């Protein structure tokens, strides 16, 4: 398994589900160390774990310093045994059927059904995030929006594999700009665009949120999708508002139902409101818009 990346885990365990404010703060502290973050309930509904995975060994002193605001919390740092993350991701990536779409990996090519829009999505180097419910929810929200909306300028922030950008193109048949702050994600999304015949329709670029010059130059966008995490969504709320067109919609996910209030509050603070929401298990999808009579913020 020489080609498998070596990973380190930083885990914080709670005997019971912590308050939302504590959970959000701990997640923010650990996000600085890890390339992937999970926050989940323990087996049998007992306890709660927040865990970050890092590609380099984190220094114990720096981890303790980041968590100094939480007395009594003892983080555990340990090496994750080498695993073939690509193979495991493919094995766990079951086909997704949502509305007119059939999303599958290369290993399920033969299962493509007739009458569906088939998209081949391979994770590449991405180690599984377990966020299939949020992906499915975002696609459901986009399908619902396609009934009555004709978006002309879509933007996908934190595109990952590119799946939401590809769905947006098929639903609205307009060029899509997709961005991600991770070089590997950009490469993987571009490869997936080629595989699905969308290299000329979906442009994938590297950008830290909305900071890239091209993102500014092509604003405003009447459709913005962002399936990331609650804390980044909160931090990016002002930038989203600045880049959203007057009659636009923003589809946000990567958040638990328990994080809805904080994410909504951050966006309401910049002048946006809830259009509708979807819930799939513990996960939530929020669709935002500007108030009907609100003027564009300057």
pLDDT digits (tens, 9 = 90+) for 236-276: 999 999 999 999 999 999 989 999 999 999 999 999 999 99
Integer Cα distance of 264 and 286 in angstroms: 8
C-beta atoms surrounding 295 within 10 Å: 9
Domain ranges for the chain, please list them. 7-83, 86-289
pTM for this predicted structure: 0.71
Contact 131, 227 (CB under 8 A): yes
Torsions phi, psi of 147, nearest 5? -90, 85
* Residue of 48, 46, 59 lying closest to 8 (CA atoms): 59
- How confident is the model over 117-131, as a mean pLDDT? 60
Q: Which CATH architecture has domain 7-83?
A: 2-Layer Sandwich (3.30)
Q: What is the pLDDT of residue 294?
A: 47
Q: Is beta strand 154-157 parallel, antiparallel or unpaired with respect to 221-227?
A: parallel
- How confident is the model over 61-69, as a mean pLDDT? 92
Give the three-state DSSP class for 178. Answer: strand
Integer Cα distance of 31 and 228 in angstroms: 12
Torsions phi, psi of 141, nearest 5? -65, -40
Of the chain, the percentage scoring pLDDT greater than 90 comes to 54
Q: Which residues contact 292 (CB under 8 A, 6 or more apart)?
A: none
Integer Cα distance of 274 and 250 in angstroms: 10
**For the chain, what is the mean pLDDT?**
86
Beta bridge partners of 118: 102
Q: Does domain 86-289 have CATH number 3.40.50.150?
A: yes
Q: What is the pLDDT of residue 126?
A: 39
Confidence of residue 2 (pLDDT cuts 50, 70, 90): very low
- How confident is the model over 285-291, as a mean pLDDT? 96
- How confident is the model over 164-187, as a mean pLDDT? 94
Buried-state track 266-278, b at ≥16 Cβ within 10 A, e below 16: bbeeebbeebebb
**Residue 20 above 50 pLDDT?**
yes
Q: What is the pLDDT of residue 214?
A: 96
For helices 260-268 and 20-31, give the axis angle rounded to 10 degrees. 80
Express each pLDDT in 130-161 by its tens digit: 346 888 999 999 999 999 999 999 999 999 89
């Amino acid at each position: 398994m020489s080609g498998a990346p070596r990973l380190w885990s930083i885990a914080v365990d709670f005997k019971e589900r912590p308050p939302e404010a504590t959970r959000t703060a701990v997640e923010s502290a650990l996000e600085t160390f890890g390339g992937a973050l999970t926050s989940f309930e323990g087996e049998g509904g007992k306890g709660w774990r927040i865990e970050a995975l890092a590609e380099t060994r984190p220094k114990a002193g720096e981890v303790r310093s980041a968590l100094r605001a939480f007395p009594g919390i003892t983080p555990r740092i340990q090496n994750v045994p080498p695993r073939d993350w690509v193979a495991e991701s493919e094995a766990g990536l079951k086909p997704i059927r949502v509305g007119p779409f059939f999303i599958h990996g290369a290993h399920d090519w033969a299962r493509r059904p007739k009458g569906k829009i088939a998209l081949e999505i391979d994770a590449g180097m991405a180690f599984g995030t377990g966020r299939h419910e949020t992906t499915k929810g975002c696609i459901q929200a986009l399908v619902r929006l396609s009934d009555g909306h004709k978006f002309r300028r879509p933007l996908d922030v934190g595109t990952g594999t590119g799946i939401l950008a590809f769905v947006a193109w098929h639903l609205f048949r307009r060029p899509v700009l997709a961005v991600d702050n991770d070089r590997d994600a950009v490469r993987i999304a571009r490869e997936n665009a080629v595989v699905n015949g969308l290299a000329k329709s979906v442009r994938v670029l590297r950008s830290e949120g909305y900071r890239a010059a091209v993102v500014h130059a092509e604003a405003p966008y009447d459709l913005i999708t962002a399936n990331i995490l609650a804390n980044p969504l909160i931090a990016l709320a002002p930038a989203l508002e600045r880049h959203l067109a007057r009659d636009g919609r923003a589809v946000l996910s990567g958040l638990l139902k328990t994080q809805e209030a904080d994410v909504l509050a951050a966006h309401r603070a910049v002048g946006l409101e809830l259009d509708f929401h979807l819930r799939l298990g513990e996960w939530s999808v929020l669709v935002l818009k500007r108030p009907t009579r609100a003027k564009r913020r300057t």
